[in-house]
């Protein structure tokens, strides 16, 4: 990457992520839970958080509610993160994860704060400045009320036409909106890949075939497959990697896909080869799963997991 390169994360629908541990979730019954985590989040926010942990400079933008923007200050005060969030009246949404000791997580997602036309125009102007040809622009997460699929596609295209390397990691109708756009990197999971191609992909073989088909308009595809690892596809590249980790190490899987993407981009930013960056990404995502906090890891655990990653051509 050029010395002046910077990774820009765009989180249009950020959230405060709250994790509540419940002994055994029973639908319809009053239960006792314990909040073990309440942190600023959203997929792009997690990417910036992970990049900052790697000492890689990043600029974070998106929309925040003015009423609880203070909840994001511990993250945005990090000197490695440039705060370019646009404030709007109201409160940023709060998402809840109900976790039980058996490792089964139930995610409750709020729709988010509605974006008005003025704030959307501010975002267009900001991205026009940030999306320079030496930068990477990462669109991560869902789109909030007030932003249509057409608005989202327009923002993505705006960044691509400036020459910036554009990354997209989203789902639902936002995925459909960018189905035909040329991108530098797509980072779906298997469900989002099905949405991208418009059909069910029940087998891994069908998923890989679909991902390879996307390479006609995308330079790389980073396909995350949870505990089964990940795949990296590109021109002359079809890798699978998985970290051999004891399942008992798993503490919190929220944000692991964001860490996978962040570490891959961080590796490339450090001028690693795609293969090297991919190995780093898989190990870092696994290390994040072994930590109770979202998009966070302990370096000794990461060092251990780097020795446990197996990578192969597929």
Containing H/E element for 83? strand 81-83
Confidence grade of residue 254 (pLDDT, cut at 50, 70, 90): confident
**What pLDDT does residue 67 have?**
96
Asked if the model's pLDDT at residue 3 lies above 70, the reply is no
Asked if the model's pLDDT at residue 187 lies above 60, the reply is yes
How many angstroms separate the CA atoms of 12 and 31, rounded? 33
Q: Helix 299-306 vs helix 274-289: angle between axes, to the nearest 10 degrees? A: 130
Mean pLDDT within 143-172: 95
Confidence grade of residue 2 (pLDDT, cut at 50, 70, 90): very low
Mean pLDDT within 28-33: 86
**What pLDDT does residue 103 have?**
66
What are the extents of the domains in the chain?
Answer: 7-11+42-93+112-313
Mean pLDDT score across all residues of the chain: 92
pLDDT (tens digit, 9 = 90+) per residue, 284-306?
Answer: 999 999 998 889 999 999 999 99
Spell out the alpha helix ranges (H) of 107-255.
117-130, 149-161, 173-177, 190-197, 204-214
**What pLDDT does residue 64 have?**
97
CB–CB of 46/40 below 8 Å? Answer: no
pLDDT (tens digit, 9 = 90+) per residue, 212-227?
Answer: 999 999 999 999 998 8
**What pLDDT does residue 115 have?**
97
pLDDT (tens digit, 9 = 90+) per residue, 71-116?
Answer: 999 999 999 999 999 999 999 999 888 887 776 778 888 999 999 9
Mean pLDDT within 130-149: 95
pLDDT (tens digit, 9 = 90+) per residue, 267-283?
Answer: 999 999 999 999 999 99
Containing H/E element for 234? strand 230-234
Parallel, antiparallel, or unpaired: how do β-strands 105-108 and 94-99 relate? antiparallel
pLDDT (tens digit, 9 = 90+) per residue, 226-243?
Answer: 889 999 999 989 999 999
CATH number for the domain formed by residue range(s) 7-11+42-93+112-313: 3.40.1190.20
Confidence grade of residue 4 (pLDDT, cut at 50, 70, 90): low
């Amino acid at each position: 990457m050029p010395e002046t390169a910077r990774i820009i994360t765009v989180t249009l629908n950020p959230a405060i992520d709250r994790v509540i541990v419940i002994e055994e979730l029973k639908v319809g019954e009053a239960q006792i839970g314990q909040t073990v985590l309440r942190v600023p989040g959203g997929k792009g926010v997690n990417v910036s958080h992970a990049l900052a942990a790697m000492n890689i400079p990043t600029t974070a933008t998106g929309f925040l509610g003015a009423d609880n923007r203070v909840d994001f200050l511990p993250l945005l005060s990090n000197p490695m993160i440039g705060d370019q969030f646009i404030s709007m009246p109201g409160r940023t949404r709060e998402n809840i994860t109900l976790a039980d000791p058996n490792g089964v997580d139930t995610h409750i997602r709020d729709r988010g704060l509605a974006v008005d036309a003025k704030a959307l125009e501010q975002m267009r102007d900001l991205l026009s400045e940030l999306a320079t040809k030496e930068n990477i622009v990462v669109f991560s997460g869902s789109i909030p009320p007030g932003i249509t699929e057409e608005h989202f596609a327009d923002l993505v295209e705006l960044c691509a036409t400036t020459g910036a390397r554009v990354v997209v990691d989203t789902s639902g109708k936002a995925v459909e909106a960018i189905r035909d756009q040329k991108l530098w990197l797509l980072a779906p999971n298997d469900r989002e890949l099905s949405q991208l191609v418009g059909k069910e992909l029940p087998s891994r073989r069908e998923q890989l075939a679909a991902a390879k088909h996307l390479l006609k308009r995308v330079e790389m595809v980073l396909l995350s497959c949870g505990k089964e690892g990940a795949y990296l596809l590109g021109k002359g590249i079809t890798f699978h990697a998985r970290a051999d980790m004891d399942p008992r190490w798993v503490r919190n899987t929220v944000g692991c896909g964001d860490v996978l993407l962040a570490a891959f981009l961080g590796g490339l930013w450090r001028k690693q080869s795609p293969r090297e960056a991919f190995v780093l990404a898989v190990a870092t995502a696994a290390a994040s799963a072994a930590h109770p906090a979202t998009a966070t890891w302990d370096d000794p655990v990461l060092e251990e997991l780097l020795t446990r990653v197996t990578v192969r051509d597929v």
